[in-house]
Amino acid sequence: MALDRTQQPLVRPMAPFVIPEPVEHRMPNGIPVHVFRAGEEEVVRLDIMLRGGIWEQSQPLQATFTSRMLREGTKRFSSADIAEQLDYYGAWLDVSASMNYSFVTLYTLTKYFAPTLALVTSMLTEPLFPEKEFQVVVDGNRQQYLVNREKVDVIARRKLNQLLFGLSHPCGRYAELEDYDRLTPEALRTMHRRYYNIHNCICYLSGHVTDEILHVLDEELGAEAWGDGEKALPITDILPPSNTVQTLFVERSDAMQSAIRMGCFSIDCTHPDYLKTRLLITLFGGYFGSRLMKNIREDKGYTYGISSGMVAYPFRNMIVVSTQAANEYARSVVTEVGREIDRLQQERVADEELTMVKNYTMGDMCRSYESPFSLADAYIFLETAGLPRDFFRRSQEAVLDATADELRDLACKYLRKESFTEVIAGKKCAEEFAT
């Protein structure tokens, strides 16, 4: 039968689906490995997670630069050797640090897993943090900092976190220019000695994983103990101070646009209301058909895009609204955000709109778990957030079971205008923005 393109296809609600779990493997030295065997392409990804990140650092930039400098020279390989071999084998390497973990991620062809893993193992176990390369990396990042600190979106994001968490909290403390001068290679060696060891290491291996790949991993990274430190202690909560500033304007006289960032603390990922509240925030501003997009982008034309989301930090989450708009529209954007909050609190969501956001959210979940690499990302999120593996099943149930009355009640409980702190960075166009 020929396809009739004049007829819209039927829209059917998505049914719950099962998310594959990893196969558990343990290296001879005790490092756990979570394995996702899937995919036709002969590519594998190795994620190495090490407990110890920004939360544990003793000075700004220490955790980030410790991971960044891993690729700048080891006892066996110079920085040039590492770069040349990664290029030769067509591999890609990423190093980073989050609040409570440091990460090394390797993408490589299956047939070149052994030589590229040898590079990574040397980087993890015997980095040198050489002075010459250290100065080059610091100088480059210092220049990037000088550029970024003038961007209105960066200013708004940092100021909001500083207001909510406080300047001394790990989530509100940002590096300043003088911190680049205070950093030393010895500080990085100290961070490495303390946290880079088998007791703090967890691996995720995904893609075209063969028995030979696991054997190489055991022989190269898992045959012996490495690292002198001990298992990192669980991080402890630091209570943010009370915030007395509800609105802050940061003047940038040459700004073509203003960055607007609004946020408040909310429930964390373990709270019984979290999953349905997350659906509410998606409806509010979490996808292209959201309330904020329809009003502020499509109807008013104040911005090209505006979004809301729940941002996870250790021990507490934030609801954040962010956008950029012409300077003269900044106050109007804030006003319209408040109006959309009022609507969610006062009116039931129409059945058609609720069905749309449910279908979008279920489809987004499905896309997030469709490949071995995205599955690894999903389970790494569980690891870093300390969530159980039934979180994915409960997420689907919460989306499918949510009602319009529940979303209205959740908006009244957790989406309150008086709880939001507003930061606008841009060119002053009204006296009401004065600090």
Distance CA 244, CA 23 (A): 49
Q: What is the 3-state secondary structure (H, E, C) of the chain?
A: CCCCCCCCCCCCCCCCCCCCCCEEEECCCCCEEEEEECCCCCEEEEEEEEECCHHHCCCCCHHHHHHHHHHHEECCCEHHHHHHHHHHCCCEEEEEECCCEEEEEEEEEHHHHHHHHHHHHHHHHCECCCHHHHHHHHHHHHHHHHHHCCCHHHHHHHHHHHHHHCCCCCCCCCCCHHHHHHCCHHHHHHHHHHHCCHHHEEEEEEECCCHHHHHHHHHHCCCCCCCCCCCCCCCCCCCCCCCCCCEEEEECCCCCEEEEEEEEEECCCCCCCHHHHHHHHHHHHCCCCCHHHHHHHHHCCCCCCEEEEEEEECCEEEEEEEEEEEHHHHHHHHHHHHHHHHHHHHCCCCHHHHHHHHHHHHHHHHHHCCCHHHHHHHHHHHHHHCCCCCHHHHHHHHHHHCCHHHHHHHHHHHCCHHHCEEEEEECCCCHHHCC
Is there a contact between 323 and 346 (Cβ–Cβ < 8 Å)?
no
pLDDT of residue 1: 62
Contact between 305 and 323 under an 8 Å Cβ cutoff? The reply is yes
Structure tokens at 40: 């036709």
Instruction: Please name the residues in contact with 312: beta carbons below 8 A apart, sequence gap of 6 or more.
Output: 268, 269, 385
Neighbours of 101 (CB within 10 A): 24
Q: pLDDT tens, 130-142?
A: 999 999 999 999 9
Contacts (Cβ under 8 Å, ≥6 apart) of 41: 207, 208
- Whether 103 shows a pLDDT value over 80: the answer reads yes
* Stated pTM of the model: 0.92
pLDDT value at 244 more than 50: yes
* pLDDT band of 432, cuts 50, 70, 90: very low
Q: What is the pLDDT of residue 8?
A: 82
pLDDT at residue 431 greater than cutoff 50: no
Fold held by 23-220: Cytochrome Bc1 Complex; Chain A, domain 1 (3.30.830)
Among residues of the chain, what percentage have pLDDT more than 90? 88
Q: In terms of Cα–Cα distance, which of 187, 170, 66, 86 is closest to 127?
A: 66
Going by C-alpha positions, the residue among 214, 212, 311 that lies closest to residue 261 is 311
Residue 254 has pLDDT above 80, yes or no: yes
The rounded percent of the chain whose pLDDT value lies above 70 is 98
Beta strand 32-37 pairing with 23-26: antiparallel
Q: Which fold has domain 247-433?
A: Cytochrome Bc1 Complex; Chain A, domain 1 (3.30.830)
Which tens digits make up the pLDDT trace of 35-85? 999 888 999 999 999 999 999 999 999 999 999 999 999 999 999 999 999
Residue 215's pLDDT band (cuts 50, 70, 90): very high
- Quick check: 270 pLDDT over 90? yes
Q: How far is CA 33 from each of CA 95, 311, 404, rounded to the nearest angstrom?
A: 19, 27, 42
Sorted by sequence, the CB contacts under 8 Å of residue 428 that are 6+ apart come out as 249, 251, 253, 327, 434
> Would you place residue 10 in the very low, low, confident or very high pLDDT band (cuts 50, 70, 90)?
confident
Q: How much is the pLDDT for 40?
A: 84
pLDDT (tens digit, 9 = 90+) per residue, 187-212? 999 999 999 999 999 999 999 999 99
pLDDT reported for residue 369: 87
For the stretch 221-243, pLDDT in tens is 999 999 988 899 888 999 999 88
Q: Does position 304 have pLDDT exceeding 90, yes or no?
A: yes
Nearest to 184, CA basis, from 305, 65, 18? 65
What is the pLDDT confidence band of residue 6, given thresholds at 50, 70 and 90?
confident
| pLDDT on residue 284 | 98
Mean pLDDT computed over 96-124? 97
Say yes or no to pLDDT of 435 above 50: no
β partners of residue 264: 319
- Within the chain, all domains assigned CATH 3.30.830.10 are found at 23-220, 247-433
How confident is the prediction for the chain on average, in pLDDT? 94
